[in-house]
Amino acid sequence: MTRIDIDFSIKNEERKQSFKSKGDLDNNTMRFTDDNGQKHDLKVVENRLHYQRSGDPSFTFVFEKGVSHVGRYQIGHQTIPMNVETHHMKTGDGVITVTYTLKQEDIIIGHTTFTIKYNESKEEHE
């Protein structure tokens, strides 16, 4: 397991948000916690990115370029199925970038892009 520094940014039609965090990278799995205490777990499997965020709200999405997957968005005790359509995805070389559209049935909820830049933490070597 490698300790990593994370620079996370996300934007959609309504807002742009970013934060820095420390995390762990183990094989193809990345784990970190954001400023609100929500846990993020991302795992690359072949050409797919599995992304789970714990907390409230939480979600489980699968991203795969050109493919629509059904994901789960949970707020309180209500779970909402979402269609996740991935338009662009890049993983590797210290960067993960995904552009996607969320739909509830045929209704577009929003278009979003997130970018995670990561590198080995210098703290590990001190």
Instruction: Tell me the per-residue pLDDT of 17-43, one tens digit each, with 9 for 90 and over.
Output: 999 999 999 989 999 999 999 999 999
d(CA 91, CA 96): 4
d(CA 100, CA 86): 4
Domain boundaries, the chain: 2-125
Q: Into which CATH architecture does domain 2-125 fall?
A: Beta Barrel (2.40)
Q: Which amino acid is at 90?
A: K
What is the separation of C-alpha 1 from the centre of its chain, rounded to a whole number of angstroms? 20
Q: Which residue has the tokens 């493919």?
A: 67
Identify any residues that bridge with 70 across adjacent strands, giving them in sequence order.
83
For all residues of the chain together, what is the average pLDDT? Answer: 94
Please give the pLDDT value at position 122: 83
d(CA 55, CA 76): 9
Q: Which amino acid is at 58?
A: S
Give the three-class secondary structure for 30. Answer: strand
Is 50 exceeded by the pLDDT of residue 58? yes
